[in-house]
Amino acid sequence: MTTLPSILLVGGGRMGSAMLAGWREQGLEQAVIVDPSPGAATLAGPGITVVAAPAQIPPGFAPAAVILAVKPQMAGQALPEYARFAGQAVFISIMAGKTIAAISQLLGQAAIVRAMPNTPAAVRQGITVAYPSSHVSAKQRELADTLLAATGDVAWIEDENQLDPVTAISGGGPAYVFLLTELLEQAGLDQGLAPELARKLARQTVIGSAALLAASDEEAAQLRINVTSPGGTTAEALKLLRADDALPKIFREAIAAATERSRALSG
């Protein structure tokens, strides 16, 4: 187990608390969490203090990293309070759509890593894509990588604009997989399966397929082919699903729409 340096977590909601769980497993010894919601108190533990406002951060607390995990619309109000840590800490922002330029306006000159995680971070199976501002040192990038890797895989990019398609693919991606699970369950009901069985089949098929993908050296396309006997039942379903105007088109358009929305929110 590694020992992580002290961190300041601003926003202990769904993503913030998921990341905190990962850091705890990695040997987090000292952290302060700022979150005004009453539920945040449950995040406190040995070495971990929860406060409701930045004015209550213990005097002298000098975090090596400040994680910005509030909603993007709270940034204007919340962030300027943390500008005083800019000299020493690397800021890691997971706020969707908030550009380095926008964050810098609120913090002044600061070392900022923009990161896009996803909710499987809660079970250490996330994927986070990270982009460093020009003020981030090699040591700070290493620290950011360690912190982000506590919740799953990390990929670094050199072009901030790529965070828009990343947001569309992996940021929102779990929602598409959950939708698939819902639709499979509904289709089972439509075919006359009992509700409990339809639910079980849909869930375990998604869970088992993901585990097989993780355990296999084969590409997703090959795993698909392995299930599909020519002329069989799966082939019949895939003929409809993979038609040019069906899923390939819908996915292309849906991801393009989400990417566009991410761009619009960043503007």
Ligand X SMILES: NC(=O)c1ccc[n+]([C@@H]2O[C@H](COP(=O)([O-])OP(=O)(O)OC[C@H]3O[C@@H](n4cnc5c(N)ncnc54)[C@H](OP(=O)(O)O)[C@@H]3O)[C@@H](O)[C@H]2O)c1
- Binding region for ligand X (CB under 6 A): 10-16, 34-37, 40, 69-72, 74, 78, 94-96, 116-119, 171
Is 12 or 63 the residue whose CB approaches ligand X more closely?
12
Distance in Å, CB of 238 to ligand X, minimum:
30
How far is the first Cα of the chain from the last one, in angstroms, to the nearest whole number? 41
What is the distance, to the nearest Å, from the Cα of residue 105 to the centroid of all Cα atoms in its chain? 24
Reference 145, options 4, 16, 31; nearest CA is 4
Distance in Å, CB of 171 to ligand X, minimum:
5
Distance, in Å, from the CA atom of 228 to the CA atom of 237, rounded to the nearest integer, reads 10
Is 178 or 251 the residue whose CB approaches ligand X more closely?
178
In the block, tokens 């566009």 appear at 260
Is 57 or 143 the residue whose CB approaches ligand X more closely?
57
Distance, in Å, from the CA atom of 208 to the CA atom of 226, rounded to the nearest integer, reads 15
Is 235 or 264 the residue whose CB approaches ligand X more closely?
264
Tokens of 22: 């990962």
Distance in Å, CB of 226 to ligand X, minimum:
31
Is 101 or 241 the residue whose CB approaches ligand X more closely?
101
Distance in Å, CB of 76 to ligand X, minimum:
10
Write the CB contacts of 102 (distance below 8 Å, at least 6 apart in sequence): 75, 266
Distance, in Å, from the CA atom of 98 to the CA atom of 104, rounded to the nearest integer, reads 10
Is 5 or 72 the residue whose CB approaches ligand X more closely?
72
Distance in Å, CB of 52 to ligand X, minimum:
8
Distance in Å, CB of 184 to ligand X, minimum:
22
CB neighbour class for 27 (10 Å; exposed up to 12, middle 13-18, buried from 19): exposed
Tokens of 145: 């990588």
Q: Which residue is nearest to ligand X (CB)?
A: 13
Q: Would the CA dihedral through 111, 115, 120, 126 be positive or negative? A: negative
